[in-house]
Structure 1
């Protein structure tokens, strides 16, 4: 019988440990066996789910993957939903996608049961399914739709991103090749399992390769640091916020504890950051602290991962690198021409076998987001010495001021280097002279900050903004009795 490659590959690693949690382990054969119990339960009297949508409400780990494989082996489309979402959020995802079945464990089943009853959706408590009659499972071809992930735009309700089995396989193979995944790898899993980062980058790549996953129900800082100290992992993947928390933790522990934990991080072969921009300062702090150079990459729900710093080669702070294997990337200006030179900003457009099939039931939105066969990401970037640097979302993070296209993300990253600034957000406010004035909301760590001092500090670090006549105050600033700016403050810098 022809099987999906992910399932067929699992059979070649059948005796290997796929999941370890404390003293409990599950092999690849255990996943196959469990999915062969759950798949017939999904099918019932049917021979094939024929792309019936099945929602998955489970924490990451053995049962999650067994349920995912059961959905796919039965011919269904998997819709992972957020464990902590509100009932209206669950209802939107279930109704928009036309879900027929919800798979959950006992704890989550009790929470979503009233909604399922109201919507007339079948609720399947997998903890109650311990056996099932033997049933011949359907043959699933790679062109079948496999998954819907909901993603939010800036101006519309969440859209369901539909990927086929072939799309998912292409995304996995690209990362396995680029990051040299191997059966000897070991990785923690604490990322949400309704996003592509946890589903593809960690779980699917590990299981494709015969590697071992150690799942956590949440990011348990102390437990993970202890496992790092024990050399439990060869790879580590997280979002920038987690690296910030790790830095704070390492700086606060005793010297003897820090030495052991840092040694564990140093011995890992790869550490990756993604899902949000990694400030260069955090990149540099992490290297100084652990000796590890984080590998930053760029991707989206619609395309999987598209761009990555090199595994063997430069990992440049502030840049996301070069196109991954099998992925084509180009920059295009707003008025149409393709950008062929470096140092000229444009919209990132991507094509390749990993690019999604369509938005669920939104043909107009699907058509609008493609330029021929190139997916329009809506992100602006610039190519610098062979590496792409993300400037931000065209609709939100790019400020058009005085003929310049300025990156709010870049300005924020620079401001966070100021010793008095704890948090900041940069926006563009309407301005008759400049079109938009670069404006920042700042929360200070302590003390006060004078606006002229901040302006001077910025001019020395953000070369494009060295235009004195553009510096102006846009609004009345909160000040103390001495006339100094206090927190929080809104001020136009440029």
Structure 2
């Protein structure tokens, strides 16, 4: 992680972080993380990969705590700031964390739990009182650095262990591919217990000597206010955020819309990820901002692996081509390479792939092939050299009447209907069909199901059209805005 830390020595007076509390330079970030690292060592020469869980709001406090854990030789375990105690306890106990660091607003949630379990807890004010002269250890790049938890859509969440070298590979690849520089100014709206926020936004920016500005919680009005200041030039978000930004934009006067569009046209990069971006949203955002969003593909286990190009053609509905240093292949259920143009599971190999699922040797072994390829579980097809995601084998590939049907393809068509605001398509177990194609709809007006079905059959083959519809107020989503398909199935 040395590259990440040394940037602060190159431009010590440059602003690294802006949050609601103020602006903080690289010099402050370096000095604070050094001091805290020495304090949490508490006289020990090295934390020696002890797990340190921390529940801290996005901003300067979060970054200096994370850096301090790394510098002291610990494994950082960021906790989701919106999780209830049982979910937090699962992560703390699964990692066997020896120390918890909590922001003042989360102390009440964690204090009695830590006391009951005999785990040391420090609040931010207590951390700021730490002072120690213990020298910092030299950290080998092969050591564990961070444990992030999968969303647990098919089983209990698993802790994904990455090393310092793996994080360096993930960040270094993105810095080159997306041409980060010290002149960049980005805004972080994304949760910091996910790879998207930690790696793609915060670590890539700080590695490059850029400035990261935090907005927490997300308010579309505040984001646009920040845009109009004219400093931000790199923006990364998830489809849910783009949905909300479009809705906010459409509530403004024509004059304000024009000012915003003119401002956003000057950005050098806008990215969407973490969930499939509807083509309709891509086109609307392009009309608003002048930007064809760069879509990319990644996972907690691999960082980013595939991306539309920074320079060159970006294709709506496609995740792009493999990033430099990342090996990819598509295989069938027997693990044989598929013919070009045929769908297959994406498998990944390279220095950015995680080391193991924490404490789960069997799950780790099952997730890799015998020759070391990581099995993503995502199904894609390659068309003209570009990867197009068809869905996740366990939830987005519906096996109905002998066909393999992409739920994402059906969702894309449904969203084009004027009465449909959003939707989620799943397969419901059925004796006759195996799985029944079923669609949950968030609508703008009452929908006649028979008329909708006739319309769908004009758009796509009859075997792909939903046989069951359900109108809902909203779709169940996780912290990154992804629709949780297993929760959606329960509604049927």
TM-score for the superposition, normalised by structure 2: 0.92
Corresponding residue for residue 346 of structure 2? 348
CA deviation after TM superposition for structure 1 residue 442, in Å: 2.8
Of stretches 233-242 and 128-137 in structure 1, the one that deviates more from structure 2 is: 128-137
Q: Name the SS for the 1:400 alignment partner.
A: strand
Q: Is residue 13–residue 26 contact of structure 2 (8 Å, CA) maintained in 1? A: yes
Distance between the aligned counterparts of 1:198 and 1:347, measured in 2?
26
Corresponding residue for residue 318 of structure 1? 317
Q: Name the SS for the 1:426 alignment partner.
A: strand
Query: Please, which runs of 5 or more residues in structure 2 have no aligned partner?
Result: 472-487
TM-aligned CA distance change 1:216 to 1:443, over 3 Å: closer
- 1:220-299, aligned counterparts within 5 Å? 220-299=219-298
TM-aligned CA distance change 1:13 to 1:279, over 3 Å: same
Deviations 1:152-190 (A, max 9, x none): 333321110000000000000110111000000000112
TM-aligned CA distance change 1:474 to 1:222, over 3 Å: closer
Corresponding residue for residue 69 of structure 1? 67
Distance between the aligned counterparts of 1:72 and 1:42, measured in 2?
11
TM-aligned CA distance change 1:45 to 1:335, over 3 Å: same
What is the root-mean-square deviation of aligned Cα atoms in Å? 2.1
CA deviation after TM superposition for structure 1 residue 131, in Å: 5.1
Larger Rg: 1
CA deviation after TM superposition for structure 1 residue 22, in Å: 6.3
- 1:2-81, aligned counterparts within 5 Å? 4-21=2-19, 24-81=22-79
Of stretches 398-407 and 30-39 in structure 1, the one that deviates more from structure 2 is: 398-407
- 1:369-384, aligned counterparts within 5 Å? 369-371=367-369, 372-384=371-383
Corresponding residue for residue 336 of structure 1? 335
CA deviation after TM superposition for structure 1 residue 298, in Å: 0.7
Q: Is residue 229–residue 262 contact of structure 1 (8 Å, CA) maintained in 2? A: no
Deviations 1:298-324 (A, max 9, x none): 100000011111110111111110111
Corresponding residue for residue 481 of structure 2? none
Distance between the aligned counterparts of 1:302 and 1:159, measured in 2?
10
TM-aligned CA distance change 1:15 to 1:471, over 3 Å: closer
Selected match of 1:120 from 112, 118, 121 = 118
CA deviation after TM superposition for structure 1 residue 416, in Å: 1.1
TM-aligned CA distance change 1:47 to 1:153, over 3 Å: same
Q: Is residue 420–residue 449 contact of structure 1 (8 Å, CA) maintained in 2? A: no
Q: Name the SS for the 1:252 alignment partner.
A: coil
Q: Name the SS for the 2:250 alignment partner.
A: helix
Distance between the aligned counterparts of 1:19 and 1:209, measured in 2?
13
Distance between the aligned counterparts of 1:238 and 1:282, measured in 2?
13
Q: Name the SS for the 2:459 alignment partner.
A: coil
TM-aligned CA distance change 1:476 to 1:414, over 3 Å: closer
Distance between the aligned counterparts of 2:448 and 2:98, measured in 1?
57
Q: Is residue 226–residue 261 contact of structure 1 (8 Å, CA) maintained in 2? A: no
CA deviation after TM superposition for structure 1 residue 472, in Å: 8.8
Distance between the aligned counterparts of 2:117 and 2:287, measured in 1?
54
Corresponding residue for residue 82 of structure 1? 80
Of stretches 261-270 and 349-358 in structure 1, the one that deviates more from structure 2 is: 261-270
Q: How many residues align?
A: 471
| Counterpart check, 1:180 vs 2:183 | no
Distance between the aligned counterparts of 2:261 and 2:469, measured in 1?
46
Query: Please, which runs of 5 or more residues in structure 1 have no aligned partner?
Result: 478-489
Distance between the aligned counterparts of 1:97 and 1:18, measured in 2?
30
Q: Is residue 54–residue 99 contact of structure 1 (8 Å, CA) maintained in 2? A: yes
- 1:158-177, aligned counterparts within 5 Å? 158-177=157-176
CA deviation after TM superposition for structure 1 residue 455, in Å: 2.8
CA deviation after TM superposition for structure 1 residue 431, in Å: 4.5
Corresponding residue for residue 138 of structure 2? 139
CA deviation after TM superposition for structure 1 residue 12, in Å: 1.7
Corresponding residue for residue 302 of structure 1? 301
Selected match of 1:366 from 341, 364, 368 = 364
Corresponding residue for residue 420 of structure 1? 419
Deviations 1:356-404 (A, max 9, x none): 0000000000000001211101111111111111111101110122332
